[in-house]
Amino acid sequence: MTHIYFIGIGGIGMSAIARYYNAKGYKVSGYDKTPSPLTHELESEGIEVHYEDNIDFIPKDVAETLVVYTPAIPADMGELVYVKENGYRVVKRSKMLGEISEGQRCMAVAGTHGKTTTSTMTSHLFMDSGEGCSAFLGGISKNYGTNLLISPNDVIVAEADEFDRSFLQLFPEIAVITSMDADHLDIYGDAEHVQEAFKAFASQVSGTVIIRHGLDITPKDTSARILTYSFGNPEADFHAEPLEDGHFNLHYPGGVIEDCVVGIPGWVNVENATAASAIALTYGIAPEKIRKALACFSGVKRRFDIQVKKPGCVYIDDYAHHPQEITAALSSIRKSYPESRLTAVFQPHLYTRTRDFAPEFAKALSLADKVILLDIYPARELPIPGVTSEIIFKDITAGKVLLKRSELMDYLKDEPVEVLATLGAGDIDRFVGEIARMLENR
């Protein structure tokens, strides 16, 4: 096998694997629906990317070509149908990550939210401490400017994605589970099946599984040692004891790391830091190296990502697209800027998720003083009759306005802003630079 062809190469998980095989000397190319900053980076690294569903771009040497696809690609997509019907070896992204991690010491972070920041923070603890790791991340690390790290040792840090049960391809030595909330109900059907999948993931951990305190993972679910972590709960094996100005003492089974601080603000990031530190401490990284690394962690693009910070105006962009994530993001912003008026712009992601959690979205968004709600971003889905942003909008108790995506920038030009947050997993990120420039120039 000399050529690896990716269908959906611009996805954050797919692009990391494409970069990995490109760095290993394979011929890598692929398709994505639309150009993006990430696909432009792939092209600049020598990876050929095209943006039309056209079988002419698929390598013709079937025996020497492996095709990798993301389940976000529709089953009737022309290129995907062609490779399945013409003898190519075709595998899902998750299968590839499983194959890469086989025989390695895998440090995995799973959870319906929190996993991208926590896995990126974990990889930073390994890198900054000098231990090193290879890492496949679900976001762009601001410390390293990439979603892929490669080191010569046998440690892999992986974001373990529950979508389509992808994380069941991983067999970690140490794993964190941050949350097991209902999500992806188009895949799982109900919350009970979501929890069953996380328990199955826990059963595949060989060494230690570190769960957020209160999650229902017990010794009957896994033969691994079970430890817990928490922000503020002293009953957890690893817990952050809050001090002043975002500082905290990190308690762990062997002692305490005093006066820690994370390089990015928000209580949710202290909780993520506790989980990441739990992995690093369990692995054996020295406490003082962890303390130093946390302080210089720069964050992840689109995770509590401060774009503008000047007197009287702050703008934060975040990937939050589940009610629990929105609650965490907005409550963290509230705690950081308690005296300021908070305006949230939210783009719902997927018709099914909007349908399944409309009341919860409305409640979470109502933590803001004002909500600007956009149309649903469909991603891989077709419209569902009766499912629009209106079913969230009607129950929001804060000040609110419902806009089309195309109306957002004109509306924001005249909107007074003290603290602004843009939230969502769709294409709302395409506005971030423009909004930041507008606010900087006010």
302 neighbors 137 (Cβ within 8 angstroms): no
- Quote the DSSP letter at residue 300: B
- Does 260 lie in the same domain as 387? no
- DSSP, collapsed to helix, strand or coil, labels residue 400 as strand
- Does 353 lie in the same domain as 423? yes
- Does 141 lie in the same domain as 62? no
- Is residue 432 assigned to a domain? yes
Active site members? 115-116, 159
Tokens of 252: 């762990």
Which residue do the tokens 């696909």 mark? Answer: 39
Q: Which CATH number do you get for residue 27? A: 3.40.50.720
In this predicted structure, what is the pLDDT of residue 187? 76
Q: How many residues does the chain have?
A: 442
- Is residue 300 assigned to a domain? no
d(CA 308, CA 278): 32
- Is residue 136 assigned to a domain? yes
* Entry pTM: 0.86
In this predicted structure, what is the pLDDT of residue 59? 97
Tell which of 242, 262, 295 closes a domain: 295
d(CA 128, CA 122): 10
Tokens of 297: 């962690």
In this predicted structure, what is the pLDDT of residue 191? 81
3-state secondary structure 349-391: ECHHHHHHHHHHHHHHHCCCCEEEECCCECCCCCCCCCCCCHH
- Is residue 417 assigned to a domain? yes
- Does 171 lie in the same domain as 29? no
- Does 278 lie in the same domain as 132? yes
Q: Which of 158, 146, 118, 421 is nearest to 264 (CA)?
A: 118
In this predicted structure, what is the pLDDT of residue 380? 79
In this predicted structure, what is the pLDDT of residue 188? 79
- Does 40 lie in the same domain as 170? no
- Does 248 lie in the same domain as 359? no
- Is residue 50 assigned to a domain? yes
Which residue do the tokens 């719902």 mark? Answer: 348
Tell which of 269, 295, 321 closes a domain: 295
Q: Which CATH number do you get for residue 384? A: 3.90.190.20
- Does 116 lie in the same domain as 251? yes
- Does 168 lie in the same domain as 87? no
Q: Which residues pair with residue 107 across a beta bridge?
A: 157, 174
379 neighbors 426 (Cβ within 8 angstroms): yes
In this predicted structure, what is the pLDDT of residue 418? 97
| Residue-level pLDDT, tens digit, the chain, 442 residues | 899 999 999 999 999 999 999 999 999 999 999 899 899 999 999 999 999 999 999 999 999 999 999 988 888 999 999 999 999 999 999 999 999 999 999 999 999 889 999 999 999 999 999 999 999 999 999 999 999 999 999 999 999 988 888 899 999 999 999 999 877 667 778 888 899 999 999 999 999 999 999 999 999 999 999 999 999 999 999 999 999 989 999 999 999 999 999 999 888 899 999 999 999 999 999 999 999 999 999 999 989 899 999 999 999 999 999 999 999 999 999 988 999 999 999 999 999 999 999 999 999 999 999 999 999 999 878 999 999 999 999 999 999 999 999 999 999 999 999 999 999 999 999 999 999 999 999 8
- DSSP, collapsed to helix, strand or coil, labels residue 40 as helix
- Is residue 403 assigned to a domain? yes
Domain that holds residue 171: 102-295
d(CA 102, CA 97): 9
In this predicted structure, what is the pLDDT of residue 4? 98
Q: Which CATH number do you get for residue 208? A: 3.40.1190.10
d(CA 97, CA 365): 35
- Does 124 lie in the same domain as 260? yes
In this predicted structure, what is the pLDDT of residue 189? 80
Tell which of 70, 93, 116 closes a domain: 93
Half-sphere exposure of 354 (CA within 13 A, CB side): 29
- Does 135 lie in the same domain as 51? no
Q: What kind and span of H or E run contains 208?
A: strand 208-212
- Does 312 lie in the same domain as 198? no
Give the total number of structural domains in the chain. 3
